[in-house]
Amino acid sequence: MVVRTSSSPSTPITSPAAALSALRESAPLTQCITNAVVTNFTANALLALGASPAMCDIPGEAGMFAGLAGGVLVNLGTPTAEQRDAAREAVRAGTPWVLDPVAVGALPVRTALAHELLDARPAIIRGNASEILALAGAGAGGRGVDTTDATDDALGAARALAARTGGAVAVSGPIDLIVDADRTARVPGGSALLTRVTGGGCALGAAMAAFAAVVSPVDAAITASVVWAVASERAASAARGPGSFAVAFLDELAAVRPSDLDARVEGSR
């Protein structure tokens, strides 16, 4: 698996190896306002990676806590009224934050909230192709949390969202697509077993938030995607099925070394 990038960057590029080293040196506090289905897996994935997770999603505390965190995830998987208010607080803190617009498009409450939160300029938007298309106003969403569009179908929508927010947009799929104003990267590889474990994609958004505490948004999105691909491939080789894969994936997140990553990236610098 090789990550291919094209760029005319206005800011220095941080390699995935350097980004992972920086994360493990600083163990950034990463606030997760995320869905009820994935909190445990997300927290364990961040711990395995080397970050420090905090599931602080209570109105009256979320904004205060976001000011202390290095990165924030806002995941719209189960957007209760309290979580919606907590998200509004957190994104005003000025901390780099990730928007994961889960199932946006067909469902009105989360769709309205996602469009509202865009005005707070997320550092990274991470979703599948159907979610990115719907968020950009170019599609109606997928089938629940599942995409019905190919990754490259969302390239134009991703670029439009990146231009609007000034950040990066990551489109997850068999080949992850990451764009910002200057760069386009594709991250192939990874195991399909990630799609059979609850929280594989949601935890990726949390990892991007953790990396956003130490590197630029586009480098954070690329590095998290590369780490997910490497760790999931290794976990799949030892797993008997989704259950053992989930455990092995956490082990491989902890085991992946910075030196494992840079050989996966090529392209203009």
Please give the tally of structural domains in the chain: 1
Please report, for the domain that includes residue 97, its CATH number.
3.40.1190.20
Q: What pLDDT, on the 0 to 100 scale, is given for residue 161?
A: 97
Is 237 among the annotated ligand-binding positions?
no
Q: What pLDDT, on the 0 to 100 scale, is given for residue 262?
A: 77
- Residues 155, 249, 219: CA angle, nearest 5 degrees: 40
**Can you name the residues that pair with 227 across neighbouring β-strands?**
none
Per-residue pLDDT of the chain (269 residues; tens, 9 = 90+): 445 555 555 566 899 999 999 999 999 999 999 999 999 999 999 999 999 999 999 999 999 999 999 999 999 999 999 999 999 999 999 999 999 999 898 899 999 999 999 999 999 999 999 999 999 987 655 445 555 678 999 999 999 999 999 999 999 999 999 999 999 999 998 999 999 999 999 999 999 999 999 999 999 999 999 999 999 999 999 999 999 999 999 999 999 999 999 767 544 33
Is 269 among the annotated ligand-binding positions?
no
What does the alpha-carbon distance between residue 62 and residue 80 come to, in Å, rounded to a whole number? 14
Structure token pair of residue 217 = 């948004």
On whether the CB atoms of residues 50 and 23 are closer than 8 A, the answer is: yes
Closest CA to 165 of 221, 108, 102, 86: 221
Residue 95 per-residue DSSP state: S
Is 7 among the annotated ligand-binding positions?
no
Provide the residue range defining the domain that includes 48.
3-267
Is 232 among the annotated ligand-binding positions?
no
Predicted TM-score of the model (pTM) = 0.93
What does the alpha-carbon distance between residue 234 and residue 82 come to, in Å, rounded to a whole number? 38
217-238 and 16-26 helices, crossing angle to 10°: 90
Buried b (16+ CB within 10 A) or exposed e, 11-30: eebbbbbbbbbbbeeebbbb
